[in-house]
Structures are given as structure tokens and as C-alpha cells.
Chain A
């Protein structure tokens, strides 16, 4: 369960951005819709604990991140959240498998290679498990980055414009994958986007 109240963020020398209050139940998905520049990414970063709100608070299962130390906040994020970025980013020196081990290593969980194989086989990439990440196509990389966001069993998966650069066919398969894989791993999916192709997949929407 995740809820926000009176949430606002102010960048230096600019006006405070106010965000609507919302509540998201366990395993529930939601869509945060809005045009470019309305603070979608800011909200996502606030939810991920990458930024600290200027006002208001976010409750993660009735816990706020405010009183936590910087290290504990990082660890909380590592354990409980998975993030999918617009362009899939990886550690370029590592293989597919090693990149998938990163969230487990950084959140101090057991590095289960079988779990990685299992998830990769869902997206038909299990044969590329030992390849350097740079040798995969953009589409393959995006599928790996989606798997990476759930491999450590997070409660919330945050996705920032995951489909905006994709054609209809690819967008559809990414939407399918993200919703099904989070469902299967008991995680809430929060998608920040201006892409209306998501509307059919997730009914709970918050407009900014």
C-alpha cells in the first residue's frame, strides 16, 4: 500500500509543483498521466525516494522515508522498488546475467541465477544470458531491464515512459510484459507516461 498527501516539490528558483493525493492498494497498478513538463518524472523520483519532497509525505506501507538515513533510504529503495527507465540503462562492463544480479547484490539479497534464467526464458532471452549487455538489441535490452526491475521481488515497480519511443506493436508487447510480470511477482506497477496506449491496460489513472 502506498499513499501520498499534500505532496509538493520546488526546484530552485521556480514555483512549487503540487501533486494530487492518491492511494494505491497492494498489488494494484496505476497510471500517472500528464503532458511533458508537468512534473511526471519528478513525481516518479519522489516515489522512488531519489528526491526528497519539499512538502507533504509519502507513506510506503505506513512508513515514511523522511526519518531514514541516506544509506537506509538507498537500501529501502533497493529492496522494495524496481525502476524501469525510458531508455534502458545497464552497467556496460557486465553480461546480461551479471546485470540481472546487480539489484540483488545492491539490496543485499541472495544472488539467485536460476531466478534470472527463469525470467529470461519468459522473454525468450535465456540463450543470451552470458552475452555482454552491449551485444543485445535495443528491444532485447528493454526486456532485460523490465526483468531486472522485478528480479529482487520489489513491492513497487516504477516505470518512466517505458513505451513512448516504441511503435504500436512493440509498445503493446512491453505493456503486456510489464503488467503480467509485475502481477506474477506480486508487485504494484506505477507507470508515468503521456502515452494513452496504456489506458486500456490500467484503469486506475491519476492525472497531473
Chain B
């Protein structure tokens, strides 16, 4: 028998009171630690995927949607834009690189993205097997796609129209086989969840499909594309920043892509470029700003949950205090008895304190389990709808602070009962029972 064992026996003996305190604490700690992890991981994911993408060029619509669809691949795209029209931006001297992204198809709900080699290069992707796609209908797939679908090097598959199988309204399978020519290593970026193919594949697969844009005679020919391009500023010092000559017409000008991910060469790009497409059907969105806005909105919800969690934790400390305080009334005689058997004031003080700390500790451990459980449920739901996952085995510094604060709260909650045990008048207690 020692004092820790005794404290544990006492907690077990009043298991109903203890269970209430532990449960309350577990829910408070669990909710907060889950919030900490969700916040940490979404920020990490957001930052990892946003790396060096200064702007996204796409069809007009919600700029946030444009970012979510094209940087994070979690929302439906805003529409398509013409390659030719986009040249005013993509070939602008203030732009260093413009990575095309073309959507339209999926394989077992994993998005197929038509792009060029810069996309994988941008995220510094490494190949685990095989090689980068070279020609049409060759696909290099992300690690998560490979794992989930079981696709291997050399396998062929048919794509389905639509971004997600159950969302496409006119679902039909294309009848051209893709061949897997490469599999990327897991990178923690969106590419893990994508099937990459040359943009030409998407163009080819969708050739001859009725399309509102191409039905418009004005923008069907390459020459008209230049004509519909927004007016370029005629005068002023900004002149030098627009293309030295009008973008050259190319064979693909009439083809469509969903968006371009842009990396700017100079900060001026952000100021000049939006003006160039003011009157077009295109827009430029800044990921940093949109994500900031998103996390602010997100943040309000988080703050509410956090406030509720803090209240629950506060209640649990009150519960620990009340149950120790009440049990002390009942156990006064026991404590006096211990004193009569040689226990010092400090010994009974530390016994009560220890009971509070062990209760707090159990609450923290259970809270940690609960937060992981919650995270895995959230993760599996997100995985079903967005192919997004949270790391369950993650641990953050914020949680360490949470643990520290909670233990401090627990110590504080039992300080008064422990002090009462310390000050106990043993003779009086033993004489009157």
C-alpha cells in the first residue's frame, strides 16, 4: 500500500462522482484538442498546397470556389475558360509560369486533371514508379489514388464523365482507355489524390460535345478570340507590362481549360492583371486572400466550439471540486484516523491533491482518445466527400499546453479541499465523529 494506490482506491470507491468529473473533463479536453488538431492540419494542408501559387485564373464566379476547386480540388469548378482568351494573362511578362488545369472526368471518384509537367514540378513530386505522362491517355497517378483504386503501373482504366461519379448529371463512360505510366510518391499535397494526364487528353475526350461556349459563333474562331480580348490600356507607364506584342494565335486557342495556376514574376502583376480581364468572362483570384477569408469564417465556428469546450472544462473542474469537497465531509473521520496513525498534515493534503490530479489525468487521457475518435470520424466523412483526411496520430504543441493548463486547473480545483484536509482538527473530529 502506498499513497498513490490509496488515492486510486479512493477514486474507485466513489466511482460515480469520479466518473462524472472524468467524463466532463474528457469531453472538454477532447473537443479542444480536436479543434487544435483540425486547425493545425488544415493550416498545414492549406499552406502546403498553396505554395507559390500567387493567383488562379478561371471563369467568373465565386473566387473562393475557384480556389477551392483548383488549388484544393474540393469544390466544383466555376466553369471553363478559353486557352486563347487566357493568353493575355498567361503570356503576360509579369507572369513567370502558368499551369493549365482541365477537369471533366473521374475514375472511381478520383479526379482526372489535364495539365502539363509544371504541375508536378511545382509540388516537387517524386516518382515512386514509372515516369511522367508523355502523350495523350497516359496517366501519372497520386499515391492515395494508387492505394485506393489498386491501379498499378501498366494498368488501363476508363474514365467517367463528371468530377465525382455521383455528381455528374449526364454520366457516361468515355470509351478510350487511359494507361497508368507512373505513380508518384506520397507528398501530402493534393496531387496524392489526383490522376494527372496531358491536357490534350481531356480536350480529346470531350471533342464534339455540345457546349454553350462553342455554340456562340463569335468566339469559335481563333481570330475572334483576339477580337474579344479585353481592351488593353493604350497609354501610361504600365504599357511596358503588357505583352510586347498581342499574344500569338495558336492551334489550341479555342480549347478550354478550367483554370491556370499562376506564379508571378513581379508584385505588379496583382495590380495590373485584374484590369486586363475586367470585361471578360474570366477572373483572377488570390489564394492567400480567399483562404484567409475562409479561415476567418471557419474561425467563428471554431471559436464557438472552443468556448463551449472551455465551459465544459470549467464545469468539470467545479465537479472535481464539489465531489472532493463533499467526499471530504464524509471522509473527515477517515483522514483524522490516518493522522492518528502517523500521517502528517502534508500526507493528507497530498492524498486529496493526488486524487484530484489522478482524476484530471484520467480525464485528459480519455479526452485524448475522444479527440482522436472524433478526428477519425470527421476524417472518414471528409474522405468520403472530398478525399481529405486528418492524421490521427498527430500531436501538437497546442495540446501540450492544453494538458499543462488542464493539470493546473485540476490542482487548483482540489486545492481548497486539500487545504481543508491539511487544517483538519483531528482531536475534534475523532471525539465527535
Instruction: Tell me the A residues contacting B by CB distance below 8 Å.
Output: 41-42, 45, 48, 50-51, 70-71, 74-75, 77-79, 83, 85, 87, 89-94, 98, 101-103, 105-108, 111
Contacts and interface: CB of A to CB of B under 8 A. Distances in A.
Contact of B337 (A48, A71, A91, A107): A91
Given A77-B342, A83-B340, A106-B342, 10 more contacts: A70-B345, A75-B344, A85-B337, A91-B10, A92-B13, A93-B6, A93-B12, A102-B338, A106-B343, A106-B347
B1 A101 contact: yes
Contact of B1 (A41, A74, A77, A111): A111
Nearest to B347: A106
Interface stretch (B43-51, B78-86, B261-269, B423-431): B423-431
Nearest to A87: B433
Interface in B412-433: 426-427, 430-431, 433
Interface centre among B6, B343, B345, B426 (most CB of A within 10 A): B343
B433 A103 contact: no
Given A74-B342, A79-B342, A102-B341, A91 B334 contact: yes
A98 B342 contact: no
Secondary structure dominating the interface of B: helix
B117 interface: no
A90 B10 CA distance: 13
9 contacts: A45-B427, A71-B346, A78-B343, A85-B337, A89-B334, A89-B433, A91-B338, A93-B12, A103-B342
Contact of B342 (A51, A78, A89, A101): A78
Contacts of B337: 85, 89-91
B2 interface: yes
A141 to B, nearest CB: 13
Interface of B: 1-2, 6, 9-10, 12-14, 333-334, 337-347, 426-427, 430-431, 433
Nearest to B11: A93
Given A91-B6, A93-B9, A75 B342 contact: yes
Nearest to B13: A93
A70 B345 CA distance: 8
B344 A70 contact: yes
A129 to B, nearest CB: 14
Contact of B9 (A71, A89, A98, A106): A98
A89 B431 contact: no
Given A91-B334, A94-B9, A105-B2, A45 B343 contact: no
B430 A45 contact: yes
Contact of B426 (A50, A71, A94, A107): A50
A105 B346 contact: no
Nearest to B334: A91
Given A50-B426, A93-B13, A74 B6 contact: no
Contacts of A102: 1, 338, 341
A183 to B, nearest CB: 22
B301 to A, nearest CB: 44
A27 B333 CA distance: 29
Contacts of A42: 431
A42 B432 CA distance: 12
A105 to B, nearest CB: 5
A70 B343 CA distance: 10
Nearest to B10: A93
A107 B342 contact: yes
A105 B1 contact: yes
The 10 closest A-B CB pairs, nearest first, are: A78-B342, A93-B13, A106-B342, A50-B427, A107-B342, A93-B9, A101-B1, A71-B344, A45-B427, A74-B344
A85 B430 contact: yes
Contacts of A75: 342, 344
B172 to A, nearest CB: 71
A75 B334 CA distance: 17
A93 B13 CA distance: 5
Nearest to B333: A89
Contacts of A77: 340-342
A48 B337 CA distance: 12
Contacts of B343: 74, 78, 106
A91 B331 CA distance: 8
A79 B345 CA distance: 16
A83 B343 CA distance: 14
A13 B12 CA distance: 43
Contacts of B6: 91, 93-94
A78 B348 CA distance: 14
Contacts of A107: 341-342
Contacts of A101: 1
A115 B304 CA distance: 60
Contacts of B10: 91, 93
Nearest to A73: B344
Contacts of A92: 13, 334
Given A50-B426, A98-B1, A111-B1, A103 B341 contact: yes
Contacts of B2: 105
Contacts of A78: 341-343
B431 A41 contact: yes
